[in-house]
Structure 1
Amino acid sequence: MLASLATPRVFFPTIGGRPLGIFVKLGITVPVQLYVGFGCFGAMVASIILSFLYRHQVTVNQDNILKCNRWFQICVMVVNYVLLSNALLPALFTSPDSQLATKIEILRNEPCPAKDLLHPDSYVLQSSVDRLFPYFCGLVVFVGCQCAFMGLHCSWVLFFSTLTTKLSRKTRKMQAKLLVALVAQFAIPTTLCYCPMAYFAITTLVNHYWQCK
Structure 2
Amino acid sequence: MVTSIDLYYKTEWKSKCSSNEKSFLASWQGLSLFSHSMLVVFLPFYAFTTYCILKKTPRTMDSVKFVLLNAHCWSCYCDILVCSLITPYFFFPTMSGFPVGLLRVLGVPTSVQTLIGIVSLLFMATSVVALFENRSNCIPNNRFRITKQRTRFFYYLLICTAIIGYIIPPFCYIPEQESAKWFLLQTIPCPTEEFFYTDVFVWTIDKFWHNYIWMTTGSMILIIFSQIIFYAICCIYYLYFSTAVIISPKTRKYQRSFFLGTVAQAVVPLLLLLIPAISVILLIYFEYYNQALNNSCALSVSFHGFASTIIITLVHHPYRTFLIKVVTFYRSSGKSKFLSSSWYMKKLI
Interval containing the TM-score (normalised by the shorter chain): 0.7 to 0.9
Q: Output the CA distance in 2 between the equivalents of 1:85 and 1:51.
A: 21
Counterpart of 2:243 in structure 1 is: 162
| Shift in Å, 1:114 | 4.0
| Shift in Å, 1:194 | 4.3
Counterpart of 2:8 in structure 1 is: none
Range moving further from structure 2, 139-148 or 80-89: 80-89
Range moving further from structure 2, 33-42 or 46-55: 33-42
Q: Output the CA distance in 1 between the equivalents of 2:164 and 2:274.
A: 16
Q: Output the CA distance in 1 between the equivalents of 2:247 and 2:116.
A: 43
CA offsets, 1:5-49, max 9 Å, x none? 222111121111111122222111101111222222222111111
CA offsets, 1:56-108, max 9 Å, x none? 111241xx531323222221111223333565323323432x01111101113
Q: Output the CA distance in 2 between the equivalents of 1:130 and 1:39.
A: 18
CA offsets, 1:139-181, max 9 Å, x none? 1210111000110111011101112x22211111111111111
One of 76, 80, 83 as aligned partner of 2:162:
83
One of 127, 130, 133 as aligned partner of 2:211:
130
Q: How does 1:111-122 map to 2 (within 5 A)?
A: 111-122=189-200
Q: Output the CA distance in 2 between the equivalents of 1:196 and 1:93.
A: 28
Count of residue correspondences: 208
| Shift in Å, 1:121 | 1.9
One of 101, 105, 113 as aligned partner of 2:179:
101
Q: Output the CA distance in 2 between the equivalents of 1:201 and 1:132.
A: 13
Range moving further from structure 2, 81-90 or 21-30: 81-90
| Larger fraction in helix | 2
Is residue 9–residue 17 contact of structure 1 (8 Å, CA) maintained in 2? yes
Q: What are the ranges of 5 or more consecutive residues in structure 2 without an aligned counterpart?
A: 1-79, 293-349
- Per the alignment, in what secondary structure is the counterpart of residue 108 of structure 1? coil
Is residue 92–residue 284 contact of structure 2 (8 Å, CA) maintained in 1? yes
- Per the alignment, in what secondary structure is the counterpart of residue 230 of structure 2? helix
Counterpart of 2:230 in structure 1 is: 149
Q: Once the two structures are aligned, what percentage of the paired residues are identical?
A: 26
Is residue 119–residue 164 contact of structure 2 (8 Å, CA) maintained in 1? yes
Q: Output the CA distance in 2 between the equivalents of 1:93 and 1:76.
A: 27
Is residue 16–residue 125 contact of structure 1 (8 Å, CA) maintained in 2? yes
- For normalisation by structure 1, the TM-score amounts to 0.87
Counterpart of 1:28 in structure 2 is: 108
State which structure, 1 or 2, has the greater radius of gyration over its C-alpha atoms. 2
Q: What are the ranges of 5 or more consecutive residues in structure 1 without an aligned counterpart?
A: none
One of 20, 24, 41 as aligned partner of 2:121:
41
Q: Output the CA distance in 1 between the equivalents of 2:278 and 2:165.
A: 20
Deviant stretches of 4+, over 4 Å: none
